[in-house]
Structure 1
């Protein structure tokens, strides 16, 4: 037997007034329609719910026995609907994604329409640091977090979107230029031009090297403008770290620098998309995750070209 919730509600409203006309007015239906609904409920149950004594309704003995169950049925239904509604957050018509990485990459999302919407859902993107992204995931303020740098927490999972090898860039006149691969020992002896410690790429390189027990020797530590000017205008025997893609786009065309792989070291920048494992949104939005993974490389190339153009326009230097 499958009870119809609407008919149960009709029955309980009639019980409330013990009058068909008053009940019909509250339910915004006609009195004949209400009478038909009660008749169908009685047919479903196989018993009478009301008797008539002249113009007065009388609740049957069976209805008196079942009345508490009808109330429980309505309450259970209302609780189910309320709980389900509570799980549908007001912003479920859009997807929240936080982004931690290159400041040049962030506007690319908007210019390319890469992540403006997906399957009819709007996508809202915010730029935060890794700590903020982690906190937002754990408190359900964001659905996913795309990060250039590791997001680690026992409650979070990460899917790798793209990996970029990191190597040593030196000028063709550098003592190591005759090599194609440098060792960890070589890397420790090279004087490096570096970005300031607060810069995310510098932090990533330092973190990787520390995990490998490599101690880098920074000759200089500059903010963006001074860094770009230094590595483009001078040839003082220093090298610098860069991703392979960045070298191919920005330094290789100058025919002055070479890229050296680092032997026996996991030197790479892994871009990942993280999510709260227990939230199961990785299943709900599996298509979106696949879409990001398939198209992220082209967006990264666009971001590199944008940053190169900005650097040349405002700082007159190469991009790192």
Structure 2
């Protein structure tokens, strides 16, 4: 059944007069009458009764009015949705992340975008590490990802969204746990817990580099898969770690987080996407994002 027949039927049903309906549809009366006849033949029933003052809907015609209006509304909604999608204001964006830090940053990023594009549906995908996030972005499995810098993957664009200084995470019973700040030099005899040394572990690389800059190689006694696991081990008293500011919400009852006196050690967090991605939706979302500041 052609939608134009239903559209013509609805106009005739509203006017109950072929002449007035034909004027609204900008067609002559005979073609309109033929359309109604064609619709009645397709449905196998009479939709209108001819009366002296015009037309009257039959019970079948009244039923069709209800259903045809539903069809028209669905089509109108579909047209509106396509229009919004074409303008980049409606659709789904798949965002990947790994680690604990994006759980602090992503809500703020979503809120920034929500103000201008409330119809964007964000779907988030947790990966084991940043390398897998970058791989998913590069091959198009996800639209964008949140990763720690630096990155070396070719064909990837990036936008800085936050900077996080290194901080010391200690068990509450540690001798240094109640200091207002700590110099990294004071940690040379400590037992450290950190990420596994897989390729691309940015936090581990920055941590080790900071220790070596201070004149010592860190004594790493345990390794773990992620920040949550590391901090559980710290809370249990197995050692200390260098974490990132804004993660102080993890294990706050059993861990004290102390700023480093050296402020030059930090990690940048960025949102990344595939170069040449044609998505207007992604472009609009990225345009709303401004860097988030966590440092005082």
TM-score (norm 1): 0.46
- Greater gyration radius: 1
TM-score (norm 2): 0.48
More helix by share: 1
